[in-house]
Amino acid sequence: MINDLPSQAMLADNIASVQARIAQAAKRVGRRPEEITLVAVSKTKPVELIKMAHTLGLRNFGENRVQDALPKIAEFRHESIEPVTWHMIGHLQRNKVNKVVGSFNYIQSVDDLQLAQAINRHAAELELRIAVLLQVNISGEASKEGVAPEETLALAQQVVTLPQLDVQGLMTVAPQVTDAEEVRPVFRGLRLLRDRLRVEVPQSAWQHLSMGMTDDYGIAIEEGATIVRVGRAIFGERIQRIP
């Protein structure tokens, strides 16, 4: 099967319509579009396409597999393509932390203390601070990664004490549903949890809510998303991997 890649014109069209929909969603709830960062999820896509998206003005890219992402990040670095911000959005195993710290700028998928401590240790070795979000499993689906909502406060209190971590907020992955409206309570739940952390863990500003993907980023923005992670609406459908 051929993985059809969009042409530059098609990619430009896709980006423009995603940005227009972000602006419309923001406007519906009296927010400014500039408050929302578009992370283009480039997982499974070749680096040539990511470079094209960068040429067209995108600056934030999300990847979910360390092994796939590292060569892409290395190529941007090698060619001095800047500015660019890389977001780790997939489940991260502790034994891969050494590869992620120093390559990615954001780790959005921190969901337990030992992982956070490992990131802190490696960041200290490299003398850098790394931006992190705590991934929360709001919907409680067994298949989803993330800390349980009721355990988030305890995790937050510990993670903010790690000096190399710049804790910036929360991330969630909503369940797949047929009607995107069904996920609104999940996004609202993440925002309410964030509001509580602002009061109870004031060491962080908790400024970011990373929520919303191709099928539901409009609703996520209405519910307060500051980061949306959009793959298919920008780069086209992904070919399913055979596990």
Q: Give contact residues for ligand PLP (rule: CB under 6 A).
A: 41, 43, 64, 89-90, 173, 213-214, 229-232
In the bound complex, what is the minimum distance in angstroms from residue 108's beta carbon to ligand PLP?
7
Tokens 């670095």 -> residue: 77
- Between 225 and 230, name the residue whose CB sits nearer to ligand PLP: 230
In the bound complex, what is the minimum distance in angstroms from residue 93's beta carbon to ligand PLP?
15
In the bound complex, what is the minimum distance in angstroms from residue 89's beta carbon to ligand PLP?
4
- Angle of helix 47-55 versus helix 8-28 axis, rounded to 10: 60
Chain residue at closest Cβ approach to ligand PLP:
231
Torsion on CA atoms 40, 46, 48, 50, rounded to nearest 10: 10
Q: How far apart are CA 104 and CA 25, in angstroms?
A: 29
- Between 218 and 231, name the residue whose CB sits nearer to ligand PLP: 231
**What beta strand segments (E) does the chain contain?**
37-41, 60-63, 85-88, 106-110, 130-135, 165-171, 208-210, 227-230
In the bound complex, what is the minimum distance in angstroms from residue 183's beta carbon to ligand PLP?
12
In the bound complex, what is the minimum distance in angstroms from residue 241's beta carbon to ligand PLP?
12
- Burial zone of 134 (CB within 10 Å; 0-12 exposed, 13-18 middle, 19+ buried): buried
- Between 156 and 216, name the residue whose CB sits nearer to ligand PLP: 216
String of DSSP letters for 46-96 = -HHHHHHHHHTT--EEEES-HHHHHHHHHHHHHTT--S-EEEE-S---GGG
- Between 11 and 201, name the residue whose CB sits nearer to ligand PLP: 11
- Between 43 and 184, name the residue whose CB sits nearer to ligand PLP: 43
In the bound complex, what is the minimum distance in angstroms from residue 62's beta carbon to ligand PLP?
6
Give the residue among 166, 148, 152, 155 at the shortest CA–CA distance from 203: 166
- Between 13 and 125, name the residue whose CB sits nearer to ligand PLP: 13
Q: Residue 60 pairs with which residues in a beta bridge? A: 85
- Between 4 and 200, name the residue whose CB sits nearer to ligand PLP: 4
In the bound complex, what is the minimum distance in angstroms from residue 14's beta carbon to ligand PLP?
11
Query: Cα 236 to chain center, whole Å?
Result: 18
> Within 10 Å of residue 125's Cβ, how many Cβ atoms?
12
